[in-house]
Amino acid sequence: MIVANRKPFEEIIEMLKPYSKILLLGCNECVTVCATGGAKEVSVLASEIRLFRQKEGQPVEIKELTLERNCDTEYVESLKPAINDYEVAISMACGCGIQFVGEHYRDKLVLPAVDTTFYGVAEEQGVWTERCQGCGACVLDKTLGICPVTRCAKSIFNGPCGGSQGGKCEVNKETPCAWQLIVDRYKEMNMLEKYLEIQPMKNWSTSRDGGPRKRVREDLKL
Amino acid sequence: MRLSYPTNIKIVKVPCTGRVDIIHILKAFEGGADGVCLVGCLEGDCHYLRGNLRARKRVEHVKLLLEESGIGKERVAMHNLSSAQGQRFAEIAREMTEKIRALGPNPARKTG
């Protein structure tokens, strides 16, 4: 899932200062699962904003609306009847959703209420960790399911580096060294000989380095 | 046991404090409450095992939200009592009322 954090409240309040009729958007997908921007978090933020503005003597009207997805035209278009009744929209969807809503309603500002952070997993209730950076050329077959691009702070392909100590990364002593995990996994699977294969330099043009990416499936186009 | 406690306290019954969500507490303040006190079973005695422990965590989180929105974290509290502690309940109700009265009215209360 895409993981996000809610922006600091002061930042949100500052962005909304000039407005008194606000559309607060949520998303039923990733940000619901990571407990940042689903219907529940939308209702909590709306309540907080109303309390703050009421206290300041500048009451606001907030419409809470959580779309099934903010990254699909068919759902974004469903905002049409509501969005024009509000001066501004602020969204708790990920960065994709925030931009996509803005692209559909050019005369409205769509402000971000969250900082989108990473593609991750829910390691346990209330704990999310990063697993993928969408580099566009997966190597999980070579590293037996542990991503060196994401989980190694340096994204190196022939590790570990000198900063690996006691299985931890020098960047943070709570972060496991990805290459230690990979070597342990080679051992566990009786495939340690794979560690001897030197990986050539990665072609990063499939990643962000090659610019914004696009995927087209001609058979699906209408 | 004919105990009395301040009449300004409104009791909202829930099956377990674990049912109380963050939004319920915020809505109480939006509705004009000056303070909110959760009273759950004794820790370790939850019929649903962890309901009261989860409620306490939520209360701690709500305190942060109330600080952010300028309402103040002192206006929310949680206590753990057994059903045999009516005396203590009345005491807490009085203490909470005095504490909130000293803080003054909810600054977000709508006037007029």
List of chain B residues with pLDDT < 70? 112
Distant-in-sequence, close-in-space partners of A205: CB < 8 Å, separation ≥ 6: none
Give the pLDDT confidence score for residue B110 in this predicted structure: 82
- The model's pLDDT over A114-169, given as tens digits with 9 standing for 90+, comes to 999 999 999 999 999 999 999 999 999 999 999 999 999 999 999 999 999 999 99
Mean pLDDT score across all residues of chain B: 96
Judge whether B110 is closer than 8 Å to chain A, CB to CB: yes
Number of Cβ pairs < 8 A linking chain A and chain B: 44
Residue range A63-74: mean pLDDT, rounded: 98
Q: Which chain B residue has the Cα nearest residue A57?
A: B108
Section A74-101 average pLDDT: 97
Compute CA A20 distance to the chain's CA centroid, rounded to the nearest angstrom. Answer: 29
pLDDT of residue B112: 60
Cβ proximity of B35 and B100 under 8 Å: yes
Give pLDDT tens digits for A12-38. 999 999 999 999 999 999 999 999 999
Task: Give the pLDDT mean for A78-85.
Answer: 94
The CA-based dihedral angle spanning residues B10, B16, B19, B22, taken in that order and rounded to the nearest 10 degrees: 60
Chain A contact present for B30, CB below 8 A: yes
How much is the ipTM here? 0.94
The reply to whether A58 touches chain B by the CB within 8 Å rule is no
Does the beta-carbon distance from A9 to B108 stay under 8 Å? no
Q: How many CB atoms lie within 10 A of CB A8?
A: 11
Q: Given this model, what pLDDT does residue B1 score?
A: 74
Query: Residue A89's closest CA among A67, A112, A72?
Result: A112
DSSP 3-state of B48: coil
Mean pLDDT (chain A, rounded): 97
B110 to chain A: which residues are within 8 Å by CB? Answer: 54, 59
Query: Cβ of A154: how many Cβ atoms within 10 Å?
Result: 15
Neighbours of B74 (CB within 10 A): 14
- Mean pLDDT of all residues in A170-194: 97
Q: Give the pLDDT of residue A174.
A: 94
Chain A residue numbers with beta carbons less than 8 Å from the beta carbon of B71 are 51, 55
B71, A47: Cβ pair inside 8 Å?
Answer: no
Are the beta carbons of B65 and A52 separated by less than 8 Å?
A: no
Domain layout of chain A by residue ranges: 2-118, 135-203
- The class level of CATH for A2-118 reads alpha beta
Alpha carbon of A18: minimum distance to chain B alpha carbons (Å): 17
Q: Residue ranges of the domains in chain B?
A: 17-103
Per-residue pLDDT band at A86 (split at 50, 70, 90): very high
